[in-house]
């Protein structure tokens, strides 16, 4: 029986998959995130003594009394798919004005700087207006959105959240 792919085709496919994986392992930065990890995220989970621990980005709006209300990313950013929520949140929903991305190469102990597209003021204003509208639709205050990096400890058997800790919070002013 003849193989489906030639040896050369198999090697090319292997290189196309292994090269981005190798770059990810060396730099902790995905070369082709939409191809390798479609969600743009891959939380590291530590399972020990019946609990799972992981860090996750969450979104919060604020009610009239100023209390944080967690948002469900899928419905909040609809019609954009929830699989893009982490990527959008990491870029502060278009509000990130950094002109470069710093990529740390662990093996060499060096950092390389890659230029990035900076959204125009008009684009940032349009994004803030869209976010304000989405918060209003959710019945929340339209003036700010919080992006939180949170550590969760969850009971492995029941799925119950044992503890939750905000490690970092970025609040985007929308007005």
Domain residue limits, the chain: 1-38, 40-173
pLDDT at residue 19 in the model: 78
DSSP 3-state assignment of 160?
coil
pLDDT at 13 exceeding the cut of 50: yes
Least confident of 61-75, 94-108, 133-147: 94-108
78: left (phi over 0), alpha (psi -120 to 50) or beta: beta
Say if residues 133 and 174 touch (Cβ distance below 8 Å): no
pLDDT at residue 36 in the model: 47
The set of residues, in sequence order, having a beta carbon less than 8 Å from that of 122 and lying 6+ positions away, is none
pLDDT at residue 37 in the model: 47
pLDDT at 30 exceeding the cut of 80: no
pLDDT at residue 29 in the model: 63
Say if residues 67 and 168 touch (Cβ distance below 8 Å): no
What's the pLDDT tens digit per position in 76-132?
Answer: 988 888 778 888 888 899 998 989 988 888 788 888 888 888 999 999 999 999 999
Q: Is the dihedral of CA 115, 117, 119, 121 positive or negative?
A: positive
DSSP 3-state assignment of 175?
coil
Say if residues 101 and 116 touch (Cβ distance below 8 Å): yes
Band (pLDDT 50/70/90 cuts) for residue 162 is very high
pLDDT at residue 46 in the model: 84
Q: Which of 174, 145, 136 is nearest to 70 (CA)?
A: 145
d(CA 93, CA 129): 11
pLDDT at 143 exceeding the cut of 80: yes
Q: Which of 166, 124, 173, 175 is nearest to 145 (CA)?
A: 173
- Cα 165–chain centre separation: 18
Q: What are phi and psi of 79, to 5 degrees?
A: -90, 5
d(CA 139, CA 102): 38
Which residue would you say has higher pLDDT here, 133 or 106?
133
């Amino acid at each position: 029986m003849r193989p489906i792919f030639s040896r050369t085709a198999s090697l090319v496919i292997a290189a196309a998959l292994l090269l981005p994986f190798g770059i990810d392992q060396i730099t902790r930065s995905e070369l082709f995130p939409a191809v390798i990890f479609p969600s743009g995220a891959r939380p590291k989970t530590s399972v020990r003594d019946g609990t799972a621990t992981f860090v996750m980005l969450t979104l919060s709006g604020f009610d009239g009394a100023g209390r944080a209300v967690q948002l469900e990313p899928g419905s909040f950013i609809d019609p954009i798919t929830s699989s893009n929520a982490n990527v959008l949140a990491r870029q502060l929903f278009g509000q990130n004005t950094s002109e470069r991305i710093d990529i740390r190469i662990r093996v060499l102990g060096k950092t390389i700087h890659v230029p990035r597209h900076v959204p125009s003021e008009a684009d940032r204003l349009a994004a803030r207006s869209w976010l304000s509208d989405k918060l209003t639709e959710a019945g929340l205050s339209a003036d700010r959105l919080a992006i939180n990096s949170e550590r969760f400890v969850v009971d492995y058997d029941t799925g119950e959240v044992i503890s939750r800790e905000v490690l970092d919070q970025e609040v985007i002013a929308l007005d």
